[in-house]
Structure 1
Amino acid sequence: MLFWISFLALLALVVTYAPHGGVELAGLTLFAGTGLVDAAIAAMKAIGFSPLTRSIVFGIIGGFNIASAGLTLFALMFSVLGEAPEQREARPLAEGAAAFAAAAAALIVAVSFVGGEAGALLVLQMVALGGLLLTVTSFVQTSIDTGDVADDGLDTLGGVIADHAANHAAFSAQLASLSRRGAAT
C-alpha cells in the first residue's frame, strides 16, 4: 500500500507541475519534462481547451489523485495500527480511494478519447486504479478471514450489558454510602 500511496502522490505532482514546466525546489527543477502529459495536453488542445481550462483539468486530476493517496494512507493506518473497529473501517476508506482514482481515470479517458490522443498519463492512471482495486480486494479477503460478525455483535452486546450493570452497581453503592452518612448525622 505504501507503493500506491507514493505512486498516487507522485502522479498528482506530475499532473500539477509538469504542464507548467516543473517546480523549482532547493535549486533543483522537479517535474520539468512534459513527456508524461504531452498526449493529454495535445488532446486538450485538439478539443479546444484554453490554457486556463487545461490547468483546471490537470488540477482536478491531481486533486483526485492526492485524495486517493490520502484515503489509501488512512486505510493503511487503520488496517495496521487500528483495533478491530478501525480495521473494519479500512475497507470503506480503500474503496473511497479507488473511487477517487476511478474519477481521475474517467476524466483522463474522456479527455484522451475525445481529443484522439491516448498517452502515458492514461496508462499510469489505469495502473493506479488497478492497484487500488487489488488493494480493496485484499481488504475484502481480510474481513472475511477475521471472523464472524454475529459473534462480534454478541460480544459487543455483552460488553454493553456488563458496563451498564457495573455503572448501576457503582451508583447504588454511592447512594447507599450517602444514605448511611445521612443517617449517622
Structure 2
Amino acid sequence: MISSRLYYASMMLFWVCYLSLLAMVVAYAPQGGISVAGLTLFNDSGLVETALVAMNAIGLSPVSQSVVFGLLGGSSAASAGLLLFSGLFYVFGEEREQREARPLAHGAIACTAAAAALTTLVFLAGGQTGALLALELGALGGLFLTVMSLTQSGIEPDAVSSEEGNALNQVIADHAANHAAFSAQLASLSRHGARP
C-alpha cells in the first residue's frame, strides 16, 4: 500500500503544478504577463490568443473577457487546491482521512470540468480551436483517470484500529467463555441441589 500512496502523491503533485500553472497563464497572459524579480513571466499570449479571437468573434466586451478568464483561472486554482488537500489527506492520513480524500478529488474534477466546459463553449461559439482548449480538456481527462484509479484502489485500514478491534474481539470472547463456564457451574449446582 505504500506504493499506492507514493503513486497517488506523485500524480497529485503533477496535477497540482499543472493546474496552478494553467491558472496563472489564464490570469496573467491576457494582461501581458507579470514581472517577478526582474523576470517577465507569462508574457507570450500564444496560449490565450485564440481564446481572445473567439471572444471577440462572439462580441464579448473586454470586461466580459476578463470575467471569463477569471472564471477559468479561479476554477483551475480551486481544482489545484482541492487536489493538494486530497493528496495530503490520502498520503499522510489514516483510514478516515483517506476516505475524506475522495470527495475532495471529485470536487477537483468538478472544477476542472466546469473550466473545460466554459472553454469549450467559448471556442465553439467563436468558431475557433486552440491550445487552451487542448490544455483544459487534457487536464480534465488526465485528472479523471487519476482520480478513478484512486477510487479503484483500496483504503488502508488503520493499524491502531485493527489492533483495537482484535483486542475488543478477545475481550468479548473471554467474557463469553467466562459466562459459559459460570452457566455450566450454576447448572451443575442446580442439579446437585435438586437430587434427594
Q: Same fold (TM over 0.5)?
A: yes
- TM-score with structure 1 setting the length: 0.78
> What are the equivalent positions in structure 2 for 1:78-117 lying under 5 Å apart?
78-117=89-128
What do the CA deviations read for 1:136-160 (whole angstroms, capped 9, x no partner)?
11221123x657xxxx9xx5xx79x
Distance of 1:59 and 1:102 partners within structure 2: 16
Name which of 65, 77, 86 aligns with 1:54.
65
Structure possessing the higher radius of gyration over alpha carbons: 2
What do the CA deviations read for 1:56-89 (whole angstroms, capped 9, x no partner)?
1000000000000000001100110001000011
The question of whether the paired residues in 2 share the 8 Å contact of 1:22 and 1:33 is answered with: yes
The gaps in structure 2 that reach 5 residues or longer are 1-11, 173-196
- TM-score with structure 2 setting the length: 0.73
Counterpart position of 2:87: 76
Q: Moved runs in structure 1, 4+ residues, more than 6 A?
A: none
Distance of 1:139 and 1:129 partners within structure 2: 15
The gaps in structure 1 that reach 5 residues or longer are 163-185
Aligned residue identity for 1:119: G
Identity %: 56
What do the CA deviations read for 1:9-49 (whole angstroms, capped 9, x no partner)?
00000000001100111111100000001111100000001
Counterpart position of 1:10: 21
2:47 is paired with a residue whose SS is coil
Counterpart position of 1:38: 49
Calculate the aligned-residue CA RMSD, in Å. 2.0
Name which of 32, 38, 51 aligns with 1:21.
32
